[in-house]
């Protein structure tokens, strides 16, 4: 397999990658789509997270199909289509941890339905579903502005 990784300032490589073994609380997602975020571009410009020269796996706007579900993970099954909520994963997928969604098979540690995994409704293409994360950012920002205006009145 391969993983898109930042090595240094403006140095991004598609590296050979061996996915870690999944445990009983984990799932493995066969990646079908992943968006490119403005923060990804900032990470590349800065040379990684938190500092230049630290290897940084890229990709946090991912969607795919479950290919492994650990024995302790409930509410999901192999073959199910899901969106990954990267900020609800122990390694903050694609934002400084060892996992990034620009790979063929993504390990999601300590997976939980409704938290780190969200089901994709039937009929929604993977490339559209992968836009759930940026949509949630936009909705959260919009809600925050409305709240601030309401408290000023």
Query: How many C-beta atoms lie closer than 10 Å to residue 119's C-beta?
Result: 16
Question: Is 143 a residue whose pLDDT tops 60?
Answer: no
> Where does residue 6 fall: left (phi above 0), alpha (psi -120 to 50 degrees), or beta otherwise?
beta
Three-class SS state of 52: coil
- Asked if CATH classification 1.10.1040.10 holds for the domain at 2-152, the reply, yes or no, is no
What is the reported pLDDT for 122? 94
pLDDT one-digit tens code per residue, 90-139: 989 998 888 999 999 999 999 999 999 999 999 999 999 998 766 666 66
- pLDDT average, residue stretch 22-28: 98
The confidence score (pLDDT) of residue 138 equals 60
At 26 the three-state DSSP class reads coil
* Whole-number pLDDT of residue 4: 96
pLDDT at 145 (0 to 100): 53
């Amino acid at each position: 397999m391969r993983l898109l990784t930042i090595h240094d300032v403006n140095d991004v490589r598609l590296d050979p990658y061996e996915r870690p073994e999944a445990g009983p609380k984990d799932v493995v997602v066969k990646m079908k789509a992943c968006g490119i975020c403005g923060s990804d571009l900032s990470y590349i410009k800065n040379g990684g997270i938190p500092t230049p020269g630290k290897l940084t796996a890229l990709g946090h706007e991912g969607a795919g199909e479950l290919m492994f579900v650990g024995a302790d993970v409930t509410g999901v099954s192999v073959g199910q289509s899901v969106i990954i909520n990267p900020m609800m994963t122990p390694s903050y997928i694609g934002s400084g941890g060892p996992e990034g969604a620009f790979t063929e098979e993504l390990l999601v540690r300590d997976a939980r339905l409704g938290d780190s995994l969200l089901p994709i409704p039937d009929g929604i293409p993977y490339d559209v579903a992968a836009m759930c994360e940026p949509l949630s950012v936009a909705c959260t920002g919009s809600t925050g502005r409305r709240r601030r205006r309401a408290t000023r009145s």
